[in-house]
Structure 1
Amino acid sequence: MTDESETSLRSAQHPQRFSLSDVEIVSDHLVYKGFYEMRELVIRHACFSRPAITIKRELMNRPDAVVVMLIDPREDTTILIEQFRVGAQKAPTPWLIECVAGLIEPNEQPEEVARREALEEAGLTIGRLKWICNYFPSPGGTNEKIFLYVGEVDASQAGGVHGLAHEGEDILVHRIPLSQALNWLQAGHINNAASIIALQWLQLNLVSLKNEWGFS
């Protein structure tokens, strides 16, 4: 789903009062560069109740990412993965149960990333692919944008441990009924935003998705 496609889905009457034209980047300095980079910005922007203000903020500059919920609609089965996440050490365990995901490389389309990551992280080939939404996971401190999809797979081929060793990946594949995935969600075992959004969307839209894909 490109930005143009996303825009075409919006109402002609945009609900927000302000836009990018109401923001001025006064300065932008690189603070740190590693796997990601941190920048320090001084920004002047419009306000609702008073004249424009100038603020200083740190921004983590991250590539956009694709997340895809893998399902087998023939048997209402989901494919989830489990891997270590450095940012989840406040959780009972930093091994999170997630959807397949990956960063968008330069000149790469989101749909290409979904198919590549399904093969790398779960050993599965996606058939049909449907866009769910785009969203910003933490816009108070990072500019990362998530492209969220649901993808059709053959669950009978799912299992094992996958990932690219040279990227430090060690990914366990779970093949489970959708009902169990929703139980895990309700119990708090699935606690990352993309997977929560995808599972809730699937719970609301499974019947219409199966009709669309010819599994009614």
Structure 2
Amino acid sequence: MKQKFNHQDIELLEIKQVFNGFFTMNEYRFKHRLFNGGWSEEVKREVFERGNAVVVLPYDPKTDQVVLIEQVRIPTIHSQTTPWLLELVAGMIELGEASIAVAHRELLEESGLEALQMNFISSYFASPGGTSEKFDFFWAEVDATLAKGIHGLDEEHEDIQVHVVSRENAFSLVKEGIINNASTVIGLQWLELNYLSLS
């Protein structure tokens, strides 16, 4: 399928920073071409400038096990029974860093594991209606028998518990809604579709 529009079909009028703290918020003023022809009126949108990140699925094809991490996520405190989430490894890409290098680093920092192989799968946007954040998704072949303990960087206030679960159990947690954060759901659904080709 060929898409009709590209960057030339946006008239970017202004980008203005409206907040700069732990994250940044910018206000965009723009016009864009319409599917029915012509141009839109001026549109104003605030964009959460989160930066880009990696997500790493640590999977051991020999034991058919997934390594998950658990940590507190304060934005979820009003939305569910616990703000501690089961997740895949993830981390922010700093300016000038290669995403595969970040994937290796975050895997070691958050799980204590080194990848036997690191494989790029795809890139996707987290929530493109409100944030510019894009994830580079990798699956890492790991030795799950080495996964244990509590990890994370003190200077980043990380307190991360490692869990080793079977692939079937991990996917059951998705189906039951216990794992309900987008990156982990996407990663485990990808694994369920592709695990037979990884062994």
TM-score w.r.t. length of structure 1? 0.89
SS, match of residue 111 in structure 1 = helix
Corresponding residue for 1:117? 106
Corresponding residue for 2:58? 70
Structure 1 stretch displaced more, 63-72 or 43-52: 43-52
Cα deviations by residue, 1:144-201 (Å, 9 ceiling, x for unpaired) = 1000111011111111111001101010100111111011111111101111111111
Corresponding residue for 1:44? 31
- Matches of 1:17 and 1:185, distance apart in 2: 35
1:194 to 183, 190, 197: 183
Amino acid at match of 2:73: R
Gaps of 5+ in 2: none
- Matches of 1:150 and 1:91, distance apart in 2: 28
SS, match of residue 196 in structure 2 = helix
Amino acid at match of 2:76: A
Residue 15 of structure 1: how far off its partner (Å)? 2.1
- Matches of 1:128 and 1:135, distance apart in 2: 21
Alignment of 1:88-127 (within 5 A): 88-89=76-77, 90-127=79-116
Residue 50 of structure 1: how far off its partner (Å)? 4.6
Alignment of 1:52-201 (within 5 A): 52-53=39-40, 54-89=42-77, 90-201=79-190
Amino acid at match of 2:24: E
Corresponding residue for 2:13? 26
Corresponding residue for 1:213? none
**Seq. identity, %:** 44
- Matches of 1:111 and 1:82, distance apart in 2: 22
Amino acid at match of 1:62: R
Amino acid at match of 2:5: F
SS, match of residue 143 in structure 1 = coil
Amino acid at match of 1:43: F
TM-score w.r.t. length of structure 2? 0.96
Gaps of 5+ in 1: 1-13, 211-216
Amino acid at match of 2:68: L
